[in-house]
Amino acid sequence: MSTTIYMLLRHRCGEMVFSMFEIKIPKDETAEPHHLSAILEFPEQEYPRGMCSVQLGSEFYFLGGEHDLEDPRPPFDQWFPKDVYIFDPIDGKGSMKRGVSMNTGKCDPCAVVADAGEDSSGKYLYGLHGFRNNRILRLGPLSNVDQNPRMLSSVPIKTISMMEEVDSFHKLNCSSFILHLGNRRFCYLLTGSPPRGFGFPATIQDDYSRTVKLFVFEETNCSASEFYPNVVYSASFEIKTSFINRGDIISCHILSPGEEHESMKRKQEDNWKHESMKRKQEDNWKHESMKRNKKITDKLAGYLAWHDGWKCNR
């Protein structure tokens, strides 16, 4: 089974606000990459710009943002909608559903899922930096930061450039993202489209295409002073869309085979509970119906007995 990454792209212009693409990293690292196509689209007429996304289990939540309205004085909720949208890619429906609305709208929000009980001792913090985010940064170890936040300034920092792997992107407007796949494996995603500036040959068709490069690497050394990534898998994709596809990676979500299995298991258990409750409710209805029918039958039998006795007395 493969690990699946869901890449959410933000579009700076055009009729589409966001689009989401599904990328499968095969277990066999020699396998050919599959074609990319949008599994979710967010038209500007339906969704606000500036939404954020967050993952909880196998569900992705989209919330916040601001509509671009021509009316300068509409109600506040029309500018900043309170809507929350939920998408579950493995429920078999492949569609968005509405969640519980927020108490108020929020412009350019940020949402995270936190686990305060996780111990960070002996762990490292990874990120991206540089003009085109083509350098991977490792900060750590973080063993003393929890006890003394001021220790963060003295934590060793090591960076590795990915320029050699992505040298063909030097003429593209790029954005990148990094994900931890588990077991000291990481996925580095880079996407870009030709710039529209002076001196660069670009056509109208370039606005509808996008290049994506993906690298899976593992860290071969976890000491504080050294950081050597070993690229174990790479793939390139060309995306062609029916809408203007210029923008950045806003977020990426990941579902591992284990998470998909657990999510499907929970859904199956929920379905069993629902069916069990439904059967119990039906049994209760049958029981109540039988009780009511017995009362009616007893009343009818009593009335018939009284009627027969009344006729005999006459």
Cβ density class 39-74: b for 16+ within 10 Å, e for less: ebbbebeebbbbbbbbbeebbbbbbbbbbeeeeeee
DSSP structural state of residue 197: S
> CA–CA separation, 56 vs 112, rounded Å?
9
192 neighbors 174 (Cβ within 8 angstroms): yes
> CA–CA separation, 83 vs 307, rounded Å?
66
Q: Determine the length of the chain.
A: 314
Predicted local distance difference test score (pLDDT) of residue 198: 45
Q: What is the pTM of this model?
A: 0.74
Domain boundaries, the chain: 3-255
Which carries the bigger pLDDT value, residue 255 or residue 196? Answer: 255
| Residue 94 confidence (pLDDT) above 90 | no
| Residue 266 confidence (pLDDT) above 60 | no
18 neighbors 250 (Cβ within 8 angstroms): yes
Predicted local distance difference test score (pLDDT) of residue 307: 60
Predicted local distance difference test score (pLDDT) of residue 270: 56
| Residue 204 confidence (pLDDT) above 80 | no
Residues 112-166 pLDDT 10s: 887 655 555 567 888 888 766 778 888 877 776 666 666 666 677 888 877 666 6
DSSP structural state of residue 276: H
Taking all residues of the chain, what is their mean pLDDT, rounded to a whole number?
77
